[in-house]
Amino acid sequence: RLTPDDLDRIYVRSTTDSMVPLKSVVTSKFTTGPVLVTRFNNFLAVKLTVNGAPGISSGQVLSTIEELGAEVLPPGYNLGWSGEAYEARKAGSTSGLVFVFGLIMVFLILAAQYEKWSLPIGVLLAVPFALFGALLAIMMRGLENDVYFQIGLTMLVALAAKNAILIFEFAVINREAGESVYDSAVSAAKERLRPIVMTSLAFILGCVPLAIALGASQNSRHSIGTGVIGGMLGATAIAVFFIPMFFYVLETMSEKSGGGKKTPGPSGGAPGDGPSPGVDAGPGGPKVTPSARREDE
């Protein structure tokens, strides 16, 4: 195959099942062309490798390329992603589903633990405060809502619920001990405030290196670190003051609607449900029964 004449001596099978020389169906000549023909999904393609400037996230780079492609590419030409860009776009489209699935799993687990449908709602109400803190943090730093930040949001579902669970758990214990709903919520918040602040502060300090990272992949680390720090600040500084109120409202509504049991008091019945043993609360006021009189004697 050194010359075009060599190709002319090659025989191929025709539609009539006979062998014919190749020169009878094609014309061979010298020409120039690419050494390697690149195809993507069976289409002729040109591979582009793009690196973002310092301070530009991968999500911003992909969005910019898509905008430029829509402006300059002629009809019939499309953009396709491969490698890390394809994985980032694929993960970004499913992050919302993962976030919702995480909320549902937390709700079902807490509903099984507390044997109520109302209290898990109060725990999940702490999540919006974490989301608000995370969004505010990345807006202040001018970061992009990329796939790494969305991974941080999924983490915040568990982290924000953790703070609420600490308060709700002690509030339920206090309620079972006979305290009122209001006293149970307030005392639980006072008892668990210090552990919540300590654990949250330790986690925030552990994420600081991510938020100020330098070098390769610094943008992805900035996104996840800044989002988690902002979310934990929101879940700690704001949500802690609302969680006792959520418990009070939901527990009161649950007991009034009959969805929850009244907590038994020291006498075995609900506080204030009736007189204590040995006392007859008949007409005219309480009277001491014979059994109580014998004990006094």
Q: In one letter, which amino acid is 219?
A: N
Number of Cβ atoms within 10 Å of the Cβ of 32: 4
Contacts of 120-124 spanning 24+ positions with Cβ under 8 A: 121/246, 121/250, 122/164, 122/168, 122/243, 122/246, 122/247, 122/249, 122/250, 123/161, 123/164, 123/165, 123/168, 124/161, 124/164
Inform me whether the pLDDT recorded for 52 exceeds 90: no
Spatial distance between the Cα atoms of 220 and 209, rounded to a whole number of angstroms: 12
* Least confident span in 118-132, 186-200, 232-246, 265-279: 265-279
| CA dihedral sign of residues 265, 271, 274, 280 | positive
Q: What pLDDT, on the 0 to 100 scale, is given for residue 79?
A: 84
Residue 56 Cα distances to 42, 51, 209, angstroms:
32, 9, 19
Of 154, 150, 126, nearest to 138 by C-alpha is 150
pLDDT for residue 50: 80
Nearest alpha-carbon partner for 91 in 24, 41, 148, 34: 148
Q: Which residue has the higher pLDDT, 212 or 285?
A: 212
Percent of the chain with pLDDT over 70: 81
Of the given ranges (8-12, 43-47, 62-66, 84-88), which has the lowest mean pLDDT? 84-88
What's the pLDDT at 225?
92
Confidence of residue 54 (pLDDT cuts 50, 70, 90): low
At 79-129, the pLDDT tens digits run 888 877 777 777 666 777 878 888 888 889 888 887 878 888 888 888 999
**Which helix H or strand E contains 221, and what residues bound it?**
helix 218-237
pLDDT in the model for residue 206? 92
With H, G, I as helix, E, B as strand and everything else as coil, classify residue 88. Answer: helix
Alpha-carbon distances of 284 from 256, 280, 288, rounded to whole Å: 31, 10, 12
Share of the chain above pLDDT 90, in %: 12
Cα-trace Rg, the chain: 35
The Cα 195–Cα 184 span in angstroms is 17
Q: How far is CA 60 from CA 28, 103, 136, 252, in A?
A: 48, 28, 19, 48
Strongest mean pLDDT among 138-152, 179-193, 250-264: 179-193
3-state secondary structure of 279: strand
Mean pLDDT of 132-155: 86
What is the pLDDT, as a whole number, of residue 231? 93
pTM of the model: 0.60
d(CA 237, CA 239): 6
Q: What is the predicted pLDDT for the residue at 294?
A: 39
Residue 280: per-residue pLDDT: 47
pLDDT band at 281; cut points 50, 70, 90? very low
The residue type at 132: F
Q: Residue 258 class from Cβ within 10 Å (0-12 exposed, 13-18 middle, 19+ buried)? A: exposed
Dihedral, 158, 159, 160, 165 alpha carbons, nearest 10: 80
Per-residue pLDDT reduced to its tens digit, 198-257:
999 999 999 999 888 887 778 888 889 999 999 999 988 888 889 899 989 988 888 887
Superfamily of domain 91-256: Multidrug efflux transporter AcrB transmembrane domain (1.20.1640.10)
- The pLDDT, as a whole number, for residue 287 is 47
